[in-house]
Chains A and B, each alone.
Chain A
Amino acid sequence: MNTTNLKPKVRFEMQTLLLAGILVFLLLFFGLNDQGFLAGRSISSMAIQLPEIGILSLAMMITVMIGGINLSINATANLAAVLSGLFILRFMPESQGPMVIVAMVGISLLIGVITGAINGFLVGYVGVPSILATLATMSIFTGIGVGLTKGQTVTGFPEVVGSVASLSPLGIPMPFLVFVGITVIAYILLGRTTFGFKTRMLGTNPVASKFSGINNKAVIMQIFIFSGVLSSIAGVLIMSRTMSASNAYGTATYVMLTILIGVLAGVVSGKGSVLNIFITVFILQVISTGSHMLLAGVRGSSFFKDFAWGVLLIIIFIINYFTHGRRKE
């Protein structure tokens, strides 16, 4: 019968609860095993590192929601950092004023919009599958950066560039505030606007959305521009924290990590939860920092986090399988 699976929307909430449960468990586990873990210093170091990958994960998530992918997120972040970095070095190397920040953020966002529009044009209007289009643009964006920097890391920025990452109004690191702010904006955009609604519909069934009068091409374009802008914001945070800009930063590892986060958070075509992404990013960062502290001094300990992430992925798949995967007949 067609009316056998009358389970409305449980899946979504289940996943959030599951992730929250895992996060609490990990916090308790590391907190009880290492006195330093819940101390201010490690918390604030987490709060500085986590936003970069978190924002990139959102950039990835929205493209997965329309049944696509954006492999060029990290290349976009690096290109934004490199171009705004070169601009600052060339035109305002000595300046310490707020104009440096304005230039950095402004140029980066512009790069985000342009790169996003290129991806959106290729995927939406030309009809290239997003995995191929963004693979190509990933190479192009990286290539442009390498050409301009001759492959060197760009450094020697005015001190003020670092202030974005180092400021902590009310004791909360600025990058974390940015991440929270973007999460809230993405939550509203995806959950409460027609743009978000159309994104979900397009991701669920592009043919039906076309026949329902949704301008698929425009939605795809908007999604990729949004994705590009988010990537470029991650670029600003990376540049400010490391006080440098390089095309070699992050690369494939970061892209893979954002896909991992998306999978853990249960993002599929037509469905994605900003909240789940937020929690998942936290989980991965806690595992990373926690295992680093717990295993400090053990040789090869830095590989443990990769191992733990992989195990976590499998655990979540198994739990999902037993909670709702087996309903399939």
Chain B
Amino acid sequence: MTNEILRVENVSKAFAGVKALDQVSLTLQEGEILCLVGENGSGKSTMIKIISGVYHPDQGDIIINGHSYKQLTPIESMREGVQVIYQDFSLFPNLSVAENLVINEQLSSGRRLVNWKETYKTAERGLEEIHVSIPLDAMVSELSTADRQLIAVTKAILAEARIIIMDEPTTALTQKEIQSLFEVINNLKAKGISTIFVSHKLNEVTEIADRTVIFRNGRKVMDQDAKNLDIKTMEFYMTGHELDLDNSQLAQPDQQAAPLLEVEKLGLRGKFKDVSFQLRPGEVLGITGLLGSGRTELALALFGETPADSGTIRVEGREVTIRSIQDAMRNRIGYVPEDRILEGLFLQQTISDNIIVRIIDQMVNKIHLIRAGASKKVSDEWIGRLEVKTPSGELPAKSLSGGNQQRLVLAKWLASDPRILILNSPTVGVDVGSKASIHELIRNLASQGMGILLISDDIPELMQTCNRLILMRRGRTFGVFDREDITEEQLNQEMVADRVFSI
């Protein structure tokens, strides 16, 4: 297979003076699986949009099937067989599977009447191409994310795609679904269809890629056969420096210090029961378990959002009642939620307003007006401390990349000076570089005497940051482990054992 289907030559693109892509070249062979890797903001999405005709490059050429373009329109791109599957799949949730599959053809054929028989036939043929079966009458809104994705792939195939671009396709998939997606991609390869797989999950990249291209800050920094490429090398190219994954520097909390938080036989009907643990100053306590194990519910109970209905909570030795978020805050408990977009940020408001929202009540003068300039001072300080990458705190929060948004949520809570910080899956959807720096931040906070509850199902993350781990199963604490006493494999087995157990 040496037929070159796509060649991008010396393409540059700038937005408002910021170079998103700088003299980047790229080739794609027929039937090749190319993984495009890079941190948020490295230029991956811009490259996709240039290939699909959404953006016009400032410089450079795009050659598809031997046809050279200076500026490609979306229609031309599609005609050349380029199909992009975005993260939201662009499907019609209230139409059936068959309708979704055939709608493009239906529209372009210009027929005014729907030929149902043919619709079903075409839809069926499409699904057969990738060897999957999904009921054709099902509403797309009722399907799982994985099935929707397969529909989107099938749709691309029915549109006679030669190049399928998948933008972060595995974000919402389970391990099993990811495997079947990979099978589909390999099927496509066998048919001579090329795939550009955009991801920052490096273990998936090593599994699926024929060739890997890495972008950093708008430049291509690596382009090589995937065979002999290991994760460490990729991380090095992505971030530009060796990641510090050494966990020996984990500070040990003072075992003599009085516990910051003591939870005893805490329970919430139908969610969790008999949960007891202690958290010392300077300690990072991991809480893990599968979805539905009660880990998030426990966190929300401690934060007062869905208060516990039995058991006791003591903060710094004092018994407290936490019936509301306000109660939790009075006890200086902070909570960084799982979903930063939905629960953490005010995307349309400025970065600065997002940082001061927790402490706005302290920023007023004698007649209760907000002190002019106070917010800028505080927010600039936190932008600096957490290295949030932005030209100005007056830009809306939505202008930030994922990792920076997560730092912003952290900044919001840190500004309020909590004693106990609950972090719920703080690095989901965050790129490798940001992830490492968030881990470092967590360790630093702990070493300054904060007590941290880290809820996560990312085992390497837990092993790198936590002093102790609590494993939850079906609403109960199943085990408490010192990090020294357990390995990643053992922890993994414990979690998987739960899966078997609960079925």
Binding site for B on A (CB under 8 A): 1-6, 8-9, 188, 192-194, 197-198, 200-201, 204-205, 207-215, 270-271, 329
Contacts and interface: CB of A to CB of B under 8 A. Distances in A.
Nearest to A271: B348
Given A2-B400, A2-B401, A207 B349 contact: no
B43 A1 contact: yes
A3 B18 contact: yes
A266 to B, nearest CB: 13
Contact of B335 (A9, A201, A211): A211
Contact of B349 (A188, A200, A329): A200
A198 B359 CA distance: 11
A211 B325 contact: yes
B329 A213 contact: yes
B394 A207 contact: no
B104 to A, nearest CB: 20
B1 interface: no
B451 interface: no
Contacts of A215: 326
Contact of A201 (B325, B337, B349, B400): B349
Interface in B333-361: 335, 337, 342-350, 353, 357-358, 360-361
Contacts, number: 100
20 contacts: A1-B41, A2-B40, A2-B402, A3-B399, A3-B401, A4-B15, A6-B16, A6-B395, A8-B350, A8-B396, A9-B394, A197-B360, A200-B349, A201-B346, A205-B342, A210-B325, A211-B305, A211-B343, A213-B416, A270-B349
Nearest to A204: B346
Contacts of B337: 211
A198 B326 contact: no
Given A1-B46, A204-B349, A8 B364 contact: no
Contacts of B45: 1
A213 B346 contact: no
Contacts of A211: 305, 325, 335, 337, 343-344
B342 A207 contact: yes
B369 A192 contact: yes
Contact of A8 (B358, B360, B361, B395): B395
A6 B348 contact: no
Chain B, interface size: which category?
35 or more
Contact of B360 (A9, A188, A198): A198
A8 B394 contact: yes
A201 B394 CA distance: 15
Contacts of B401: 2-3
A148 to B, nearest CB: 39
B358 A205 contact: no
A246 B268 CA distance: 54
B392 interface: yes
Contacts of B15: 1, 3-4, 6
Contacts of B392: 8
A213 B325 contact: yes
Given A1-B43, A2-B40, A197-B370, A270 B399 contact: no
Nearest to A205: B346
A3 B402 CA distance: 11
Shortest 5 CB-CB contacts between residues of A and residues of B? A204-B346, A192-B369, A2-B401, A4-B15, A212-B357
Contact of A193 (B20, B54, B370, B391): B370
Contacts of B7: none
Contact of A192 (B16, B326, B342, B370): B370
A212 B344 CA distance: 8
Given A211-B325, A211-B337, A329 B54 contact: yes
Contacts of A5: 399
Contacts of B335: 211
Contacts of A193: 364, 368-370
Contacts of B219: none
A296 to B, nearest CB: 46
Contact of B342 (A194, A208, A270, A329): A208
Given A211-B335, A213-B325, A270 B346 contact: yes
A247 B305 CA distance: 43
